[in-house]
Amino acid sequence: MSWLKVRRVVVFIILAGLITFVGIKARLPYYTSALLALLISYSIIALERLLYHRTLREVAVVLATIVAGALFGSFIGFLIIQFPTFRRPEMRGWVFLITNTASIYIFVAYIFSRKEELFKSKAERAAGKGEFKRYSKLVDTSALIDGRIVDMIELGFLEGNIAVPSFVLKELQNIADSKDPDKREKGRRGIEMLDRLKEALKDRLIITHEDIPGKHDVDEKLIELARKTRAKLITTDFNLKKIAEHQDVFVLNVNELTEKLKLPLNSGDIIRIKIVREGKEKEKKQGVGYLVDGTMVVVDGALSLIGQEIDVVVHSVLQTETGRIVFARLKGDVRNEGFSYGQ
Residue 334: pLDDT over 50: no
Region at 275 (left for phi over 0; alpha for psi -120 to 50; beta for the rest): beta
Beta carbons of 73 and 80 less than 8 angstroms apart: no
Return the minimum-mean-pLDDT range out of 56-70, 150-164, 269-283, 318-332.
Answer: 318-332
Q: Structural domains in the chain? A: 3-116 (no CATH), 124-259 (3.40.50.1010), 264-330 (2.40.50.140)
Residue 160: pLDDT over 90: no
Residue 336: pLDDT over 50: no
Residue 340: pLDDT over 90: no
Strand partners, 275: 289
pTM across the whole model = 0.50
Mean pLDDT for all residues in the chain: 84
- Assign 3-class secondary structure to 93-135: HHHHHHHHHHHHHHHHHHHHHCHHHHHCCHHHHHHHHHCCCCC
d(CA 185, CA 192): 11
How many helices (H) and strands (E) the chain has is answered by 13, 10
Residue 117: pLDDT over 70: no
Question: What integer pLDDT is reported at residue 116 of this predicted model?
Answer: 62
d(CA 225, CA 210): 8
Label residue 335 by pLDDT band (50, 70, 90).
very low
Question: What integer pLDDT is reported at residue 133 of this predicted model?
Answer: 60
Q: Render pLDDT for 164-211 as a digit per residue (tens, 0 to 9).
A: 999 999 999 999 998 888 888 889 999 999 999 999 988 899 998 888
Contacts for 208 with CB less than 8 Å, ≥ 6 apart: 121, 123, 124, 135, 163, 164, 165, 166, 225
Label residue 53 by pLDDT band (50, 70, 90).
low
Label residue 122 by pLDDT band (50, 70, 90).
very low
Question: What integer pLDDT is reported at residue 131 of this predicted model?
Answer: 41
d(CA 83, CA 185): 80
Residue 297: pLDDT over 80: yes
Residue 124: pLDDT over 90: no
Q: What is the mean pLDDT of residues 131-158?
A: 85
Return the minimum-mean-pLDDT range out of 14-18, 30-34, 138-142, 335-339.
Answer: 335-339
Q: What are phi and psi of 325, to 5 degrees?
A: -125, 130
Q: What is the mean pLDDT of residues 275-294?
A: 85
Q: Report the SS3 class of residue 8.
A: helix
d(CA 177, CA 168): 14
Q: Render pLDDT for 233-284 as a digit per residue (tens, 0 to 9).
A: 999 998 999 999 888 899 999 888 877 777 778 888 888 889 999 888 878 8
d(CA 326, CA 270): 12
Most confident residue range from 176-180, 278-282, 291-295, 339-343: 176-180
Label residue 46 by pLDDT band (50, 70, 90).
confident
Question: What integer pLDDT is reported at residue 126 of this predicted model?
Answer: 44
Residue 68: pLDDT over 90: yes
Label residue 140 by pLDDT band (50, 70, 90).
very high
Question: What integer pLDDT is reported at residue 35 of this predicted model?
Answer: 92
Q: Render pLDDT for 13-28 as a digit per residue (tens, 0 to 9).
A: 998 899 888 888 888 8
